[in-house]
Structure 1
Amino acid sequence: MKLPFHCHEKWRNIVISIRDSGGTVAFHNLVKFVKREARKATDPMYGKDALRNDDRTKPQPKRNAGIASQSSFKPSFSTDMVENTTQNTQSSKPEEKAAEERKEMSQEDKEFMKIVTNSIHKEDGHYVVSLPFRDKDVIMPDNSEQALQRLRGLKKKFTMNPQIHKDYKKFMEDILSKEYAEIVPQDELKDDCLASDLNEENAVSTVKELTSLCSEGSFRLTKWISNSSTVMKSIPPQERAKDVKDLNLDCEDLPSERALGVYWFVQSDTLGFKIKSKLKPDTKRGILSVVSSVYDPLGLMAPFILISKQLLQNLHKEQKDWDEDVDSKIQKIWHQWLKDLSLLENIHIPRCYKPMGFGLVTSCQLHLFADASNVGYGVVGYIRFVNEDEEIHCALVMSKSRVAPLKKTTIPRMELTVPRMELTAATLAVRMSSLILQELQVKVDTTFFWTDSMSVLRCIFNTNARFKTFVANRIAVIRDCSDIDQWRYVSSKENPASRGIELDNEQQIQHWTGGPRFLWRHHKYWPKQYSKQEPQEDDLELKECVHATIMEKDSFLDILINHFSSWTKLRRAVAWIILTIRCLRQSVNKSHSTKKVNFTLNVQVLEDAEKLLVQHCQTQHFSKEQ
C-alpha cells in the first residue's frame, strides 16, 4: 500500500526492528502503524508534494493479492500518497551508498516543515494549514479584479474570432476524451492507492479499516478494484471502479487497470501492455512519437524497445531532419519493428514473483546479468526462490538498457570501447541491485552479479594494479556496492542480457522472463568459475609504469684519490687536469675570446685543485647538510 512520505523512515525502522529481533513482519503491524500515524497527523501536508527529496524511478511491487483504489478528498492543500517500501540487504554497503546519495532537507525546507507542523488545524472536518511565507506579516493583495479582467479579455477574444473559440473548445474536448485531462471539482483532488495481501480475509479487513481511517481526515476511498472476487463483493457497488460497478463477479471476467503507468490485467493478475499506435509518417518525428508511446518503466521488454532507440540514434547520427523521410534500409527495419509491436499485447508477465502454492521460502537470491556491445549495454535482474521441497522458481524483476554514447572523442584514451562498455554495464548492475534491494518487500539472502567479460572480472578481482581514471572510478563504485565473491562468469550464450528477443518466439520469451536455465537448477550445476586472474601486462586500461634505475659510478676524482697515496702528487695531478680543460675550452672558443690561458702550473691553479678536491669530499660525505 501507499503511505505518506514522512512515514517511510518510521515504517522502515519498525520493519528492521522486528526482523532484527527474529520476528516476521505481518500485515497487522502495518495496520497498527497506520492507525497510530493517522491519529497523530492524518493531513494532506505530508504528501510527496511537500516533502519530495528523491525523484528516482521505483519498480512497482508484485505480490500475491492486489487491491487498488482511488482516494477522493477535500483538503486545503494538494497531496499525493506515495508507496511505502522496506529495505532488505545482505550487507550494509548498498544501504550506506544509498544514504550517501540521498538528498537531505535544506534549512528552508526545515523552516517550511516547522510552519506546516505548527499551523495544522481542523476546520469543518477538513485540515487547514498556513501558507509558508518567509515573512510572518504578509498582506495579500486583492487580485480578483485582474483575474476577472483576464477572463473578460479571453471572452472578448472568442467573441471577435469565432475560429479561435472553436479551436479552443475542440482542443479541450479532445484532451478530455483521450483522458489526458479530467474535470475535477475545485475542492477535490485524486490519486491512486495500491495495496497487496496474501490472505483474502486480511484484504477485506484492510479495505474496511483504510476506508474508516481515511474518512477521519475527509479522505474518501473509491473506485476499488481487486483480482479477488471475495474482496470485490465486500465493497459496495457505488465504491467500485467504473468498469466493475455493474459487473457480475460470479461469471464475468475482470477488466484491465492502469496502475502507476503499467497495465494490470486483473483477471489473470498479470502485467502487460496495451498498444494504441496511430499511423505516423516514416520520419524521425513519427518514429519518436510511436516509440515514446510505449511505456515500460520496469524494462519488461527492454531488449525489444532497445532496437527502436538504436534506430532513432542512427537517424540522429545521419543528421536527418525531423520531417524528412527515412531511407529504404531504415524504413524496412522500422516496419518490421512496428509489425512486432502489435505482438507485445500478447505478452503477459505474472505480477507475483512467487507463484501460488509455492510454500515456505527457504532461500531467496537476487541475480543480475550485465552485458554490452558496440551499440549498447544492458542489465536484467531476476529473483530466485527455493522452498522446503528444494523446488526452484525464478522471476523477472526489472531491467535497464542504454544505447552507446554517440559522441566521439579525439582522445584515444577517452574512447568508450567495448571493454569499457562492459564495465559500465557492470556498474549499472550494482546500482540497480541497490535500488531493487531497497524497494523489494522481500528479504534477499544473497546477491550475485554475472558478466561474460573476463576483462571486467580481472579488473574487479585485482587489488594491486593502477587503472586509468575511467576504469578506476567505476571499479570503485563496484567495490563499494558489492563484494568480489558475488561476481561470477557466465557465457554469452547463457547470458540473458546479451541477446535480443523475438516477440513471436515463445522459447525466447520464457528465457527472458524466467531467466537462464541454470538458475532453475542446483547451484552445483551453475557455470564453472575461473580462477581470479590478474590483468594482463598489455592491458590498455593499466597505467604505464616507468622504472628508473640509478647506477653509481666512480668519478675521475675518486679514481685519482684511490690511485695516489700522496696529497702533493694528487693535488698536482688535479691541477694539470684543470689546466688541460681550460686550454681545450680556449681552443674551442678562440674566435670569441682574445684572452690566452697561461699553461704553467702556478700557485693559483694548485689552490683551485685543492678547493675542487675538498668540495668533492664534502659532497660525498656531507650531502644531507648542503
Structure 2
Amino acid sequence: MGTESIVNTCIVKGMEISSLDGNQFIELSEVFSQKSIPVTKDNIPHQEDVNRWPHLKEVKLPSIQAEVGLLIGANVPKAMEPLQVVSSVDDGPYAVRTILGWTVNGPLRGGSNIMETNKRTEVTANRISVAKLEELWQLQFKQDFPDAGQNEDIEMSKDDHQFMNMVSQSSKLMDGQYSVCLPIRNKSLCMPNNRSVAEQRVLNLRKRFSRDVKFHTEYVAFMEDILKKGYAVKLNSAECEPTEGRTWYLPHHGVRHPVKQKLRVVFDCGASFQGTSLNQQLLQGPDLTSSLVGVLMRFRQETVAVMADVEAMFHQIRVSHEDTDFFRFLWWPDGNYEQELLEHKISIFDPLGFLAPVILPAKIILQELCRQKYSWDEDLPDNVVESWKRWISGLQQLENFGVDRCVKTKQFGAPVFAQLHHFADASEDAYGTASYLLLHNATGEAQSTLMMAKARVAPLRSPTIPRMELTAATVAVKMDKLLKKEIELELHDSIFWTDSTAVLKYLNSESTRFKTFVANRISTILEHSQISQWRYVNTTLNPADHVSRGQTVEAFLKYESWLSGPGFLLCTQDQWPKNPDPGMLDLDDPEVKRVAQAHVIQAQEPKDATDQLMTHYSSWTKLNVRLPGF
C-alpha cells in the first residue's frame, strides 16, 4: 500500500466472449495481458461441490477441464448482471445466474451441517518473492553463524551522541506536552523550495478522490481530526510566505492497514527534491525502543500487570516553533477510495516461541520449496499440498491453548532463588532451544516455566549433526545473555543442557585445535558460560528435542511438560541427570584440525683429508705454516 509499481502488459482490443452453449456474446472493451494469473483450476467449482448444499439443487454447473485464462471485472457489468439469485441458507454459499451462466460464491467446499464454533483463525498468504524469503533465511543464519569476532553489542555513534545532546538540551514541557527542536545535522541548512512536488502529489490525490468516495471521506475525516486536536494548524495569508532555505513541504498519501481497514495519512518526510529530503538532513538517533522480548519478559514477572497506550503517539511530541516550517503540507477541505483485494494470510504472532514446535513444520515446507526453486504461482506437488493442508487444519485446535501471563502462581509469593535453564538440540532439519525460569520460594517450593523458545531450520547446505548441535548450544548462550538482560530478578548461574556428547567433548577438549567453524562456536560458548555450567540430559527428557523436530498440534497439546519443563527441575540437584564421563575425543573426528609435521634431513658426502684442510683454513699462508712438509 502507498507505493507505485510498474507492470508490463499488452492491451487487447476487440475481444469477444461467449457462454459455453455459444448462444450469448459479450464484447470486451479492453483486455490487459499478464504473464500469469494467481488463480488455478482448483478454484473452479464443480457440480459435486454444489450438490452438498440442498438449497442449490437447481444450480447446474458444466464440467470444465481447463486452466483459468481470463478474469472479468466489474467494468463489464453485462457479465455481472444477476438474472436469478439463489440466496444463502445457514451461512452457506449463494448462487447467481448471469448471461454467461451460474456463478457460486461463499464457503462452497464446506458442509451444510458443520457446527460453527467461536474460532478466529487468520490465514494469510504473503506474496513475497522467493529471493526475499531466502534473504530472510540468510539473515537468520547470519545470527547463528556469524563471522568470527563479530560483536553483538552496538555502541552509540558520534551522530547518536550529538542527537541525544540536541534533544536533551532543547526539550521543554509546555501545557502538558513536550516540545523539541529538530535534530538538524547542519545548523546552516538551506533547503530548496519543493512546493512543486507537493502540488503534483496533491493533484494526483485529487484524481483518486474523484473516483473513490470512501477514500475521500476518510481522508477528509483524518485531516479534520488532526486540525481539531491541534496537531496541525492552518496558516493565514501572511504566514504562507516561505522563509528561504528553512521551508519544506511534505507530500502526503493515505494507506490502509490490510487487516484493520483503517485509513491513515502518511506524511512523506523521505520524499526527495533536487537530491535531498528532510529525512536526509536530520540525525536518525539511536534505537532506544524496548525490545518486544524484554517487554514480554517483564510483563510476565509479577502477578499484577499494567498496560497503557499513548493515543496518536507521534503527534504528542510538538516541534519547536522555529522548526515548524519544515513540516508544511498542502490541503483543501474537499477531496474517493479504491477497493482493496485482501489476501488471506496465515498470521501467527509468537515472539517468545511458545508455539515453536508447531510452527517448525511449516518452516520446513517453505524451505523445501525454496530449495526446489518453486515460484509462488506454480502448482505444488500433491504431497506438499497435503502436508500444508494438514498443518493449516491443525491450527484450529490451538483455540484452547493458553499460557499463564505470570511466571509464578498467586500463592507462590516472592522468590528467594531464580535460575535459568537452557535446553539445546538439533536434528537434520532444524535446531532449537527452550529456556525455563526455575524459582524457589521461602518454604522451599519450586516452580519452573517456559520463558522463550526458538526453532530454526537448518541451512540449505546442511552442516553435520555435531555442527548443528554446537550451533544450538551457541543459540542457548545467546538466549541466556538476552534473558538476563531483560529479566529483572537476581539470577544465579545458568545451567545449560544438551543431549549431545559431542558438544560436551568439544567443550572439554582444551588443548585440541578445531576447524574454524567449531572453534568459533566453542569460543562464543565459553565466552558466555563455564564448562561446569554444561550438563547432559537424555533425549527423552530434553524439551528442545521437540523444537528441533517439530510436532503436530495434537501431539503438542498432549505434551504437558512443555510449558513447565522436565520434572527433574523441581527436584534437588542430586536428583538431576548425571553427567557422563565425556571421554577422549576421537582422533579421527572430522572437526579436529590436522597438524602436519615435517623433519628436514640433510645428507652430506664424506670429504677427503685435503678437502677438509682447504675448507678449514682461510689462507694459503696459514695452511703452509701448518704443513711445512707438504
TM-score interval (norm. to shorter): 0.5 to 0.7
1:148 CA displacement:
3.9
SS of 1:493's equivalent?
A: helix
| Kept after mapping to 2: 8 A contact 1:373/1:418 | yes
TM-score, length-scaled by structure 2: 0.53
| Kept after mapping to 1: 8 A contact 2:422/2:436 | yes
Distance 2:431 2:302 in 1: 37
Which residues of 2 match residues 23-42 of structure 1 at below 5 A?
A: none
The one of 164, 167, 190 equivalent to 1:113 is 164
Aligned: 1:128 with 2:179:
yes
1:453-482 CA deviation, whole Å, 9 max, x = no partner?
111110011110001111100000000000
Q: Which residue is equivalent to 1:610? A: 613
Q: Which residue is equivalent to 1:436? A: 483
Q: Which residue is equivalent to 2:259? A: 178
Distance 2:561 2:528 in 1: 28
1:218 CA displacement:
8.8
Mark the CA change 1:540 to 1:386 in structure 2 (over 3 Å): closer, same or farther.
same
1:20-49 CA deviation, whole Å, 9 max, x = no partner?
xxxxxxxxxxxxxxxxxxxxxxxxxxxxxx
Aligned: 1:354 with 2:408:
yes
SS of 1:350's equivalent?
A: coil
The one of 418, 421, 425 equivalent to 2:465 is 418
Tell me which protein shows more helix as a share of its residues.
1
Aligned: 1:447 with 2:501:
no
Aligned: 1:518 with 2:568:
yes
Q: Which residue is equivalent to 1:539? A: 589
Distance 2:471 2:596 in 1: 29
Distance 1:343 1:485 in 2: 42
Which residues of 2 match residues 288-327 of structure 1 at below 5 A?
A: 289-290=345-346, 293-327=347-381
| Kept after mapping to 1: 8 A contact 2:422/2:496 | yes
| Kept after mapping to 1: 8 A contact 2:415/2:439 | yes
Structure of greater Rg: 1
| Kept after mapping to 1: 8 A contact 2:437/2:448 | yes
1:416-437 CA deviation, whole Å, 9 max, x = no partner?
1111011111101001110011
**Structure 2: which amino acid aligns with 1:373?**
S
Which residues of 2 match residues 74-93 of structure 1 at below 5 A?
A: none
| Kept after mapping to 1: 8 A contact 2:254/2:263 | no
Mark the CA change 1:336 to 1:153 in structure 2 (over 3 Å): closer, same or farther.
closer
Q: Which residue is equivalent to 1:155? A: 206
1:103 CA displacement:
1.7
SS of 1:528's equivalent?
A: coil
Distance 1:147 1:392 in 2: 64
Aligned: 1:468 with 2:504:
no
Q: Which residue is equivalent to 2:41? A: none
Mark the CA change 1:356 to 1:547 in structure 2 (over 3 Å): closer, same or farther.
same
Aligned: 1:530 with 2:584:
no
TM-score, length-scaled by structure 1: 0.54
Q: Which residue is equivalent to 1:497? A: 544
SS of 1:446's equivalent?
A: coil
Q: Which residue is equivalent to 1:587? A: none
| Kept after mapping to 2: 8 A contact 1:450/1:488 | yes
Distance 1:178 1:339 in 2: 21
1:137 CA displacement:
3.6
Distance 1:433 1:368 in 2: 7
1:273-307 CA deviation, whole Å, 9 max, x = no partner?
xxxxx996xxxxxxxx42xx112111001011011
1:140 CA displacement:
5.5
1:501 CA displacement:
3.4
Distance 2:176 2:557 in 1: 58
Q: Which residue is equivalent to 1:330? A: 384
Q: Which residue is equivalent to 2:474? A: 427
1:99 CA displacement:
13
Distance 1:183 1:609 in 2: 100
Distance 1:99 1:419 in 2: 22
1:503-555 CA deviation, whole Å, 9 max, x = no partner?
334774322111112223222221121124331211111111234456788x5
SS of 2:522's equivalent?
A: helix
The alignment yields a C-alpha RMSD, in angstroms, of 4.0
SS of 2:453's equivalent?
A: strand
Comparing both chains, which one has the higher relative contact order based on Cα–Cα distances under 8 Å and sequence gaps of 6 or more? 1
The one of 485, 494, 505 equivalent to 2:532 is 485
Aligned: 1:344 with 2:390:
no
SS of 2:418's equivalent?
A: strand
1:331 CA displacement:
1.5
Distance 2:302 2:375 in 1: 53
Judge which range, 125-134 or 459-468, deviates more.
Answer: 125-134
| Kept after mapping to 2: 8 A contact 1:503/1:509 | no
Give the number of equivalent residue pairs. 381
| Kept after mapping to 2: 8 A contact 1:379/1:425 | yes
Unaligned runs of 5+ in 2: 1-148, 220-252, 268-289, 319-341, 619-630
Which residues of 2 match residues 262-281 of structure 1 at below 5 A?
A: none
The one of 428, 432, 441 equivalent to 1:374 is 428
1:141-191 CA deviation, whole Å, 9 max, x = no partner?
6655653443234324654xx3x77899899999468325455899xxxx9
Distance 2:405 2:485 in 1: 19
Distance 1:158 1:446 in 2: 63
Distance 2:595 2:176 in 1: 75
Distance 2:470 2:175 in 1: 60
SS of 1:515's equivalent?
A: coil
